[in-house]
Amino acid sequence: MAAQLDSGAAFELSLSLDNGCVRFFNDSGSSWLSEVLATAPQHLYTVLHGWNEIVLGYSKMLVAKQASARKLRRCIRLSGTGVMLPLSLNNIFHATFHAVPAAERWAQAAAASSSEIHFIPLVYRSAAFGVVRSADPRSWFAWEYTIRAMTRLSGAEIARRTSEILNAGCCCFERLEAAAPPFNAYARSSRERLYRFRRAVLGNVLSANEMQSDAQRRRTRVLYIPREHEDRAITNEAEVSRSLRALPNVERLVFDGLSLSEQLRHVSEAIGLVSVFGQALVWMVFLPAQHMRTFVVELVQHEGAWKQDYVRWAATLGVRHFRSRGDMAACKPDSSALHRAWQRKLRNYTRFIDCNLTVLAADVVEKTGAGIAWARGGNGDVVRRRDRG
């Protein structure tokens, strides 16, 4: 049955409110959902809609309404501005769709503001915190990524401050802002926006001297990033690692256990990435593609028509894309109704997400070697030829 909405509700794409409060609640979809409470004596009933990259459209984010005295008594008051930023999934790929416009709006404002800015996760039900994923902000690497362009705070301090706000149950601010504007990371017109985002994020990760020399530094490193999870691991990883050592400057680096800032630093010093389809390839945004030739080698399975996410993203960024195919192995069963629905919709794609992969080491070496040779060709714009394998 369709949800019933008050015909008097205003539909908005952004919210800006003096003396606004945020109340957090849980439901069967996710923990840390929110509603906005107005403290001023005025009639307010607004439904905030925002961009949802999962459905490629707008979705209902939250309701803003007049607060009752009973609810307000339970709130704490913080000085400064509260800024609600989207968190649709604890996933860097999805977070990029929201982190880029957030940085454009708030990076300079956060640096120049004389009052404190509190960043608040605007959690989507798709995040499934406390249902499928951890409700503890210490594990929300996508949230740290979302606000990294606005702060130099450590990941631990970001998690601590976020936990304090969430666990308060309700927080009021001198001013409250909320929005989830659209952004298409695949659009060719997004290239400069992604480059600016890279600079903003790395500006809070690297030293001032490192940022000043970013365009001039000569890089030779190629990062081979294996997964050590129970899904999408390479079954013959030892063979692949051994074979890649025959190439110059290829470094095997496991990202699990590294902080977000450490991962960003490593990628910013590389000219190429080699990894299985997934989060490691998202880091191509932080390759120095604006200054020199860079490449990625994506490892996928032979079976089925494969999604073009990273082909398209590489084309947007000007990164050369290579693909090496292998065979699926040891797929993890999942009987949840949600997972079965995605399997029906996406077929082999979703199946592969839950599977390991056996690759042809010689082909991985060939594609990586081709990427290295191409990257050595000098500066200049990338010829966006797709090397699909």
- Residues 94, 154: Cα–Cα separation, whole Å: 22
Give the CB-side neighbour count of residue 273, counting CA atoms within 13 A.
31
Lowest mean pLDDT among 119-133, 160-174, 207-221, 280-294: 207-221
- Residues 69, 237: Cα–Cα separation, whole Å: 61
Q: Give me 240's structure tokens.
A: 């692949």
Higher pLDDT, 115 or 222: 222
Angle in degrees, CA 290, 300, 197, rounded to 5: 25
Residues 136/126, Cβ–Cβ less than 8 Å: no
Q: CB-based burial of residue 189 (10 Å sphere; 0-12 exposed, 13-18 middle, 19+ buried)? A: exposed
- 56: Cβ contacts below 8 Å, ≥ 6 apart: none
- 309: Cβ contacts below 8 Å, ≥ 6 apart: 93, 277
DSSP category for residue 276 = E
The string of pLDDT tens digits covering residues 312-351 is: 999 999 999 999 988 877 776 654 444 444 444 444 444 5
Q: CB-based burial of residue 196 (10 Å sphere; 0-12 exposed, 13-18 middle, 19+ buried)? A: middle
Q: Name the residue with tokens 């503001």.
A: 113
Check pLDDT > 70 for residue 380.
no
For the chain, how many residues are written? 389
Lowest mean pLDDT among 95-109, 152-166, 211-225, 309-323: 211-225
Q: Give me 371's structure tokens.
A: 């990427």
Which pairing describes strands 170-179 and 76-87: parallel, antiparallel, or unpaired? Answer: parallel
Lowest mean pLDDT among 73-87, 98-112, 346-360, 369-383: 346-360
pTM equals 0.88
Q: Name the residue with tokens 């501005």.
A: 81
- Residues 63, 79: Cα–Cα separation, whole Å: 23
Helix extents (H) in the chain:
69-72, 92-112, 141-147, 155-168, 191-202, 208-212, 237-244, 260-268, 279-282, 309-317, 337-346, 348-353, 361-375
Sorted by where each begins, the domain ranges of the chain are: 10-179, 208-375
What is the maximum span of the chain, computed from C-alpha positions, in angstroms?
71
- Residues 21, 38: Cα–Cα separation, whole Å: 6
Residue 284 CB neighbours (<10 A): 25
- Residues 62, 352: Cα–Cα separation, whole Å: 34
- Residues 151, 160: Cα–Cα separation, whole Å: 14
- Residues 369, 373: Cα–Cα separation, whole Å: 6
How is the beta sheet containing 320-329 ordered, strand by strand?
250-252, 221-224, 270-276, 295-301, 320-329, 356-359
Lowest mean pLDDT among 188-192, 196-200, 377-381: 377-381
DSSP states of 331-367 as a string?
PPP---HHHHHHHHHHTHHHHHHTSEEEE-HHHHHHH
Predicted confidence band of residue 210 (pLDDT cuts 50, 70, 90): confident
Average pLDDT over all residues of the chain:
87
Average pLDDT over residues 272-280: 89
Whole-Å CA distances, 206 to 80, 196, 202, 284: 28, 15, 6, 17
Which backbone phi and psi does 322 adopt, to 5 degrees? -120, 155
- Residues 139, 212: Cα–Cα separation, whole Å: 32
Helix (H, G, I), strand (E, B) or coil at 34: strand
> Does the domain at residues 208-375 carry the CATH identifier 1.10.10?
no
The string of pLDDT tens digits covering residues 212-256 is: 888 778 889 999 999 876 667 888 999 999 999 999 999 999 998
- Residues 71, 37: Cα–Cα separation, whole Å: 9
- Residues 322, 5: Cα–Cα separation, whole Å: 49
Q: Give me 222's structure tokens.
A: 């190629």
